[in-house]
Chain A
Amino acid sequence: MSVVRVEGVRKSYGALEVLKGVSMQVERGEVVAIIGRSGSGKSTLLRCLNGLEPIQAGRIEVAGHTLDSTGKGLRDLRKDVGIVFQSYNLFPHLKVGENIMLAPRVVLGCSRAEARARAEQTLAQVGLAEKIEAWPDNLSGGQAQRVAIARSLAMQPKVMLFDEVTSALDPELTGEVLATLEGLAQAGMTMLLVTHEMAFARRVAHRTVFMHQGLLHEEGPSEALFSAPQTAELRQFLSGGLK
């Protein structure tokens, strides 16, 4: 059954329509990569999924919560949907452990011990157990991004969204973050990734969606989509220098 259901979603910034009626579904445990040019609406679509961008028309259902243009029920939805950003956005005034413990404690009402246990567990999951007392400013970009992933995981979300999480990293640091994502995928997490890492999308994502001018232009199983693109736009995109 579908964990994510998007129906006819439209989104505009003023006169500029960024999403022109997007529909898609994601099954439980599925890993879906969203690719496309800058400005194709892929990041916007992801941000709409947890209500960071209000939509003008259509309907979004994620993990049993429904979002429409009224924006009600937002906080309940966000408890079940984690998002990781390109720029990590760790809280600089809190140590790594506190960064992770904050939301479980104040949003879910976990005890300090329970929140601490979640922090230890999710940090171990991203391979940074020893950094629990570190300050965010003292982490490398790759480490900061893995902490951001752990922070999201500590809420025990049903769906994880990744918005170009390796785009701000030096090439030698992207590997460690991608390995973390791959581990999550193998553990059965439902994931949507906006990415420019085509090789990664092809290898790890079960399905890839190509967005073009605010619409889903082509989609299919990753291997098939990358090896035999059906539309001229996707062929051009894949051969057109964007690695």
Chain B
Amino acid sequence: MIREFGTSELWFVVSSARWTLALTLIALGLGGVLGFVIALARVSRLAPLRWLAAGWIGLVQGVPVLMLLFLSYYGLSLAGLDLPPLVAAGISLSFYASGFLGEIWRGCIQSVPWQQWEASAALALSRAQQYRYVVLPQAVRIAVPPTVGFIVQLVKNTSIVSIIGVVELARAGHLVNNATFQPMRVFCVVALVYFCICWPISLAARWLERRMHVGRAG
């Protein structure tokens, strides 16, 4: 029996965006913390830390998100650890985010001119103080555009977790389309909801960038 694409179907699609948002926030939170540690390790003076971080980044970037997802869902369940799909999805997306954010932020830290390190060292700041007061504040400004670019990618890439049965935005659209067979309407709505999430993020980034450059030329 084919259903109409009515209010309840529309609501089902729109409300399942909460899982898209939840997964994005989880990946951003956990992946962000891990990514920050990895970025610092990547520019550490201790070679083993640098290698470890480089290895992690290489691994995460070299493997499709889908494989990270399968590994944490099916792989870990084979190992006896039966994770609910949502948890497996959260973990794999966090790993994915950590690898990319780590590399993005490594670049931002390194693009702060070395003279800033030298000038702050000459003023007797410790390494931790150099990071905290001189290098990271400058790196954060540089980091806004690429980080936001990545967050927008992340929002859209959460759709991949539909494969292990998490009903987020893309999966909800799929289910409703199966019942109504009105792909144009259904997927236009899905696309519109994605747009309504991503567009404000880009706008906020532009605003943030302007705000952080108040009083500064260039």
Report B36 CB to chain A, min CB distance, Å. Answer: 19
**B115 pairs with A87, CB closer than 8 A:** yes
Within 8 A of B (CB), among A134-171: 135, 137-138, 151-152, 155
Query: Closest Cβ of chain B: how far from A146's Cβ, in Å?
Result: 15
Contact check, A78 vs B124: say whether CB atoms are below 8 A apart: yes
**Any B CB within 8 A of the CB of A83:** yes
* B138 engages A93 (CB within 8 Å): yes
Task: Map CB proximity to A onto B91-131 as digits: 1 under 8 Å, 0 otherwise.
Answer: 00000000000000000000000011011111111100100
Interface residue? B2 (CB, 8 A) = no
* Of B156-164, B169-177, B192-200, B210-218, the one with at least 4 CB within 8 A of chain A: B210-218
Instruction: Give Cα A242–Cα B48 distance, bound, in whole angstroms.
Output: 48
Q: How far is the CA of A55 from the CA of B173 in the complex (A)?
A: 67
Tell me the bound Cα distance from A107 to B134 in angstroms: 13
Please encode chain A, from 75 to 94, with 1 for each CB lying within 8 Å of some chain B CB and 0 for all others.
11011001101010111110
Q: Tally chain B residues at the interface, Cβ within 8 Å.
A: 21
B51 beta carbon closer than 8 Å to chain A: no
Neighbouring A residues of B138 by C-beta, 8 Å = 91-93
Q: Which residues of A contact B126 (CB under 8 A)?
A: 75
B3 within 8 A of A: no
The answer to whether B123 and A102 touch across the interface, beta carbons within 8 angstroms, is yes
Count contacts on A: residues with CB < 8 A to the other chain.
26
A133 to chain B, nearest CB (A): 10
A107 near B122 with CB under 8 A, answer no
**Interface residue B141 (Cβ < 8 Å from any Cβ of A):** yes
For the complex, give the distance between the alpha carbons of A116 and B158 in Å.
50
State in angstroms the CA–CA spacing of A151 and B119 once bound together: 10
A107 B118 Cβ-Cβ under 8 A:
no
Q: Mark A89-115, 1 if CB is under 8 A from B, else 0.
A: 111110100000011001100000000
On whether the beta carbons of B134 and A91 are closer than 8 Å, the reply is: yes
CA distance A83 to B141 in the complex (A): 27
Task: Evaluate contact between B118 and A89: CB separation under 8 angstroms.
Answer: yes
Is the Cβ of A79 less than 8 Å from the Cβ of B124? yes
Residues of A within 8 A of B84 (CB): none
Asked if residues A106 and B121 are in contact (CB atoms below 8 Å), the reply is no
Interface centre among A82, A93, A103, A138 (most CB of B within 10 A): A93
C-alpha gap A92/B141 in the complex (Å): 11
B216–A135 touching, CB < 8 Å:
yes
CB-nearest residue of chain A to B218: A137
> With the chains together, A79 CA to B215 CA distance in Å?
31
Q: How far is the CA of A135 from the CA of B115 in the complex (A)?
A: 18
Given contacts A106-B129, A106-B133, A137-B217, contact A89 B124 (CB under 8 A): no
Binary interface profile of B, 143-184, with partner A (CB < 8 Å = 1, else 0)? 000000000000000000000000000000000000000000
A93-B138, A135-B216, A138-B217 known; A52+B122 contact, CB < 8 A: yes
Residues of A within 8 A of B115 (CB): 85, 87, 89
Q: Which residues in window 41-62 of A have CB below 8 A to B?
A: 50, 52
Known: A137-B217, A155-B124. A89 touches B119 (CB 8 A): yes
Contacts of A135 in B (CB 8 A): 215-217
**Roughly how many angstroms separate A75 CA and B216 CA in the complex, as a whole number?**
31
Return chain A residues, CB-CB under 8 Å to B137.
93
- Tell me whether A50 and B122 are in contact in the complex, defined as CB-CB below 8 angstroms, given that A93-B137, A135-B216 are known contacts: yes
Q: Could you list 19 further interchain pairs (A-B, Cβ under 8 angstroms) beyond the known A137-B216, A137-B218?
A: A52-B118, A75-B126, A76-B124, A78-B123, A85-B115, A85-B118, A89-B115, A89-B118, A89-B119, A91-B138, A95-B215, A102-B123, A102-B133, A103-B120, A103-B123, A106-B125, A135-B217, A152-B122, A155-B123
10 A-B pairs with least C-beta separation: A89-B119, A78-B124, A103-B123, A137-B217, A89-B115, A79-B124, A135-B215, A107-B124, A83-B122, A93-B137
Contact residues of B with A, CB < 8 Å?
A: 115-116, 118-126, 129, 133-134, 137-138, 141, 215-218
Question: Could you name 29 residue pairs across A and B whose Cβ atoms are closer than 8 Å?
Answer: A52-B118, A75-B124, A78-B121, A78-B122, A78-B124, A82-B122, A83-B122, A85-B115, A85-B118, A89-B115, A89-B118, A90-B119, A91-B116, A91-B120, A91-B138, A93-B137, A93-B216, A95-B215, A102-B123, A102-B134, A106-B129, A106-B133, A107-B124, A107-B125, A107-B129, A135-B217, A137-B217, A151-B123, A152-B123
